[in-house]
Amino acid sequence: MKKRKPAQPASDLHLAGPSSPTQPLSQMRRGGVGRILAVRGSADKDQRDIERGLLEMGFVEGAAVEVLHYGFLGRDPLAVRINQTMTVALRRRAADAVLAVSSSHLTPP
């Protein structure tokens, strides 16, 4: 099994606003499509558990993601499709740990 590097706290990442190509999944617009760059938790045990759960569900580097829906109150929870095969409901706190890049900013292979 490949050993992973320790997670970098999401608060240490430089992220711009919603127009930035790189942003937490929780800030992508509804209908937004992109690719996962990283799943980042903090040193907090709860965040490490969230990170592990996300990785087990398929939120891995390079996976395609699409934001399908946001909840009515505080945009929580949100529905996300992974690799066009599985739809998952995430709490905003978990979606904050997923760093993604919008497909409009990706270069074609």
Architecture of the domain defined by 21-103: Roll (2.30)
32/78 Cα distance (integer angstroms): 12
Domain map (residue ranges) of the chain: 21-103
DSSP per position, 39-94: E---SSHHHHHHHHHHHHHT--TT-EEEEEEE-TTTT-SEEEEETTTEEEEE-HHH
73 pLDDT higher than 90: no
77 and 89 Cβ atoms separated by less than 8 Å: yes
67 and 78 Cβ atoms separated by less than 8 Å: yes
In a 3-state reduction of DSSP, which class is residue 28?
coil
- Average pLDDT (29-43) is 87
19 pLDDT higher than 60: no
Cis preceding-peptide flag for 108 (omega within 30 of 0): no
- Average pLDDT (1-5) is 47
Residue 16: predicted pLDDT? 41
Based on the number of CB atoms within 10 Å of its own CB, is 14 exposed (0-12), middle (13-18) or buried (19 or more)?
exposed
